[in-house]
Amino acid sequence: MSETDPSAVESFRAAMRRVASTVNVITICVGGERMGITATAMSSLAMDPPSLLVCINRFSAMHGSMEDVSHFCVNVLHRDQENIARMFADRRQHALRFLSGWTEDCVRPPRLIDAQASIVCRRIDHHRFGTHSIFIGVVEDAQVREEVNPLVYVDGQYGGAVD
């Protein structure tokens, strides 16, 4: 079976619909402009050094800038922030994205003040693969919202996690 077999793509899509992922907004600041994108493809990488990775589509508006920045922030969304997930997934809502709730300086990447967690990373490496790039960040600082109730995406729906 070749890697472009359409049935492999279809069955992979069906499999990934069955994977529950926490929803994040990845943010950067470039030339005084704040940018962000909703992403579920984020994973912890190592504790030594403390690090994570995010996968970003090379055809997204933010990809080129991600290759240039020194830092990015992974804003892990709380279950009550579904509206923010939708806003950063929809280009038509571009003008609304940073209106309120975010840090305003552009020295560091924007933090969502009330996020489930916000993790500022120094971008230290990236690997292109197919339509996407893997960006690796070493964690410099993380802040958390105490109550644990992250926003989860599974089977095309937003929801939460339960014991």
Question: Where do we find the tokens 């619909």?
Answer: 17
117 binds a second copy (CB under 8 A): yes
Nearer CB in complex with a second copy: 6/31: 6
> Binding to a second copy (CB under 8 A): which residues in 34-73?
40-51, 53, 55
Residue 102 beta carbon to a second copy: minimum distance, rounded to whole angstroms:
18
130 binds a second copy (CB under 8 A): yes
Residue 9 beta carbon to a second copy: minimum distance, rounded to whole angstroms:
5
Tell me if residue 132 falls in helix, strand or coil. strand
Q: Which helix (H) or strand (E) holds 6?
A: helix 6-16
99 binds a second copy (CB under 8 A): no
Nearer CB in complex with a second copy: 26/152: 152
Long-range contacts of 33-38 (CB under 8 A, 24+ apart): 33/106, 34/97, 34/98, 34/102, 34/106, 34/109, 34/110, 35/61, 35/62, 35/65, 36/62, 36/75, 36/88, 36/97, 36/98, 36/110, 37/61, 37/62, 37/88, 37/89, 38/85, 38/86, 38/88, 38/89
131 binds a second copy (CB under 8 A): yes
Question: Where do we find the tokens 């996407």?
Answer: 132
Nearer CB in complex with a second copy: 96/148: 148
Residues interacting with a second copy, by CB under 8 A? 1, 3-5, 8-9, 11-22, 40-51, 53, 55, 76, 116-119, 122, 125, 127, 129-132, 134, 136, 138-145, 148, 150, 152, 154-155, 157-163
